[in-house]
Amino acid sequence: MSPDASGAPPLRIAILGAGWVSRTVWRPLLDAHPGFEVAAVVDTDPVAAQRMASNGREVLAVSRVADLADLELDAAVVALPNHLHVPVACELLSRNVPVFIEKPVCRTLVEARTLASSALDGPTVHAWSAARHRGDVRALARLLPQLGEVRALGLNWTRASGVPQRDGWFVDRGLAGGGSLLDLGWHLLDVGLDLLGWPHVTRALGNLSLDWMGRGDATADWSARASDHGGPAGERPELVEDTARGFLLTETGVAVSLESRWASHHALDSTTLTIEGTEGVAVLRCTFGFSPHRADRSSLTLLRHGEETAVPLPEEPVGVEYERQVAELARRLVRARATGPRTDAGSLAEITTLASCVDRLYESAGRPRPPVPVPSLETARPRLRSH
């Protein structure tokens, strides 16, 4: 174990899940950051765990959270299928291990409250969208004082062809908890509500559809998913939505419109954030995530009194926001270690607000939130891995 530039020993961290996001994002970025040392990889598939653990360093590869009992850890990243996020996080918290939970942090408000109860007076729960760290999103935030009183917020993430899979846990409502609303919409709401200062939402209206699930040309071609949904042979799971549209009203009177689409008739994937105020309108057009079907660059415009002005944006490589997310996680963990876990209790309030919004949108659309069982990593089937 070698110290970082500050002289402190690196934070020892475990990665739960050996799927796409762990292999592509978390393991490389944690290895590259001097403040972290990956100490363990946990996955129910021992081959996948060992493959991700092996890179010339001494990293423990195990299949159960219980196998981490004798390991000294400063934190863990939970990047498992959606239905395992909360139970596994709660087990880690009970072992006094702080957690960062991949989105969507939870499937329902019930799960959010379970997570909050497990973290009461204990280690910290960290969770926020990497998109908050994008340079273009930060530039949009800096325009807020010029817009006057905010009246409306528009959030749209449309993929040209990005249905994650034909079958498997990601499209099984019982396991995933939801489709594009929970997947893309969680990011949109995290960024949008953060821009607004996290007001409470008083009303919600939602609409869902699944017109693209049976079309082969709508399948994502850049992110492989496991295809075993884990149910009894021959059982067909209830599918999630591929498209969601919603409307929220905040306690501060801001109207929030949301659209999330896994597939569409568009040629490119795009994300659009629109903030309308009494003194102007700001529009950011970009592409969140890693999709190769993206516009060449982001654009940010400010419309005031009939005059549209282009706002300069930094040129940034795809995915740099995740590097910044890892750096921010290191800062939060070091601060919590020095001053106590309650320093960063804000994530739990944000998670509860997001889960409440998602629940209300689903309920309005006629998809009431079902009672959710509490599974464990040990009962998961081998191919139920990360995103």
pLDDT tens readout for residues 171-199? 899 899 999 999 999 999 999 999 999 99
- Which distant-in-sequence residues (6+ apart) come within 8 Å of 165 by Cβ? 171, 219, 220, 225, 226, 227
Write out the DSSP string of 213-265. TT-GGGB-SS--------S-TTPPPPBPPSEEEEEEEETTS-EEEEEEESB-S
Q: What is the pLDDT of residues 82-102, one digit of tens each?
A: 999 999 999 999 999 999 999
Q: Does position 5 have pLDDT exceeding 90, yes or no?
A: no
Q: Does position 107 have pLDDT exceeding 70, yes or no?
A: yes
Label residue 376 by pLDDT band (50, 70, 90). low
Which pLDDT does position 342 carry in this prediction? 59
DSSP SS3 for 184: helix
For residues 84 and 375, give the distance between their C-alpha atoms in angstroms, rounded to a whole number: 7
Q: Does position 119 have pLDDT exceeding 50, yes or no?
A: yes
> What domains can be seen in the chain, in order of their start residue?
11-128+366-379 (3.40.50.720), 135-315 (3.30.360.10)
What share of the chain has pLDDT > 90, as a percent?
Answer: 73
Which pLDDT does position 215 carry in this prediction? 78
Spatial contact of 292 and 162, defined as CB atoms under 8 Å apart = no
Token pair, residue 36, equals: 């972290």
Spatial contact of 286 and 301, defined as CB atoms under 8 Å apart = no
> pLDDT higher for 342 or 197?
197
Q: What is the pLDDT of residues 248-292, one digit of tens each?
A: 999 999 999 999 999 999 999 999 999 999 999 999 999 999 988
Mean pLDDT, rounded, for 195-211: 96
DSSP SS3 for 73: coil
Which pLDDT does position 370 carry in this prediction? 62
- Report the relative pairing of strands 99-101 and 125-126 from DSSP bridges: parallel
Kindly give the interhelix angle for 109-118 and 346-364, rounded to the nearest 10 degrees: 160
Spatial contact of 228 and 195, defined as CB atoms under 8 Å apart = no
Q: If we measure between CA atoms, which residue out of 283, 296, 287 comes closest to residue 321? A: 287
Query: How open is the CA angle 40-44-45, to the nearest 5 degrees?
Result: 95
